[in-house]
Structures are given as structure tokens and as C-alpha cells.
A = this chain, B = another copy of it.
Amino acid sequence: MFQSGKQIKFNYQERNAMIKVSVMYPNSAEAIFNIDYYCNTHIPMVADLLGDALKSGTVDSGLAGGATGEALAFIAMGHLTFETVESFQQSFGFNAEKIMADLPNFTNIQPQVQISEIRL
């Protein structure tokens, strides 16, 4: 992460999160997504289950495409950071069933998941 200011920081975040798991919910005419449940119930449950493996996270609620009239690609995105791919896989794998079973409580969308290296 970098922040605005005189000295832009191009280092890894101080909490040593090196990878990001992005869970992206594609938008469509049929898409149902309860952002309040996601923020207030689902994410806290995930954070509780993953414990120390989860370093930080953000939740974005889609507003608009970048250009006027451009379709919104994702109705919501959750970005979760971990120290390593292995720490994500271990903590998630152990709890996958519980986490996935909660999805119908807030959405009918099959999320698109991506693992990235945090470069800035």
C-alpha cells in the first residue's frame, strides 16, 4: 500500500501481508447481494474462523463502471490479506464448508476468486 504525502511508500505493508485473496461477485440482472449481511455477519464470521492467518481486509460495494454508462462489473468485492498462500489455503481449507454454506444467506452469485501478490 502507498499513501499520499511527500514520501510515497512503496514498501510492503507493515503487517507483513504479502498476498491478497479477492472474492469478486459479478454483477448481472439476476444478481442478489445483501451488502449489510455481508459486512455485518459474513465477514466477521470469516474473520473469526480464519483467526490469526487473516491479516486485514476490505469490502467494496460497487457503485458504477469507470466511464459514464459503463456496466458495473462486480456488485461487491472482498479483499483479504494473508502472509502466504499456504496460510490462506490452510486456514480457509479447514473452514471452507462453513464459509461456503453461508453464501446463500446473502447472495445467489457464484463468486470469482483470485490470489494475488501485493506489490504495492
Task: Give A residues with C-beta under 8 Å from B.
Answer: 1-4, 8, 10, 15, 19-24, 35, 39, 43-44, 47, 51-52, 54-67, 70, 72-74, 76-77, 79, 85, 112-120
A66 and B21 within 8 A (CB): yes
For residue A51, which residues in chain B have a CB less than 8 angstroms away from its CB? Answer: 4
Contact of A113 among B39, B67, B116 (CB under 8 A): B67
> In terms of DSSP, what is the predominant structure of the interface of chain A?
strand
A61 and B119 within 8 A (CB): yes
B58 and A114 within 8 A (CB): no
For residue A85, which residues in chain B have a CB less than 8 angstroms away from its CB? Answer: 63-64
A4 and B54 within 8 A (CB): yes
Q: Which residue of B lies closest to A120 (CB)?
A: B59
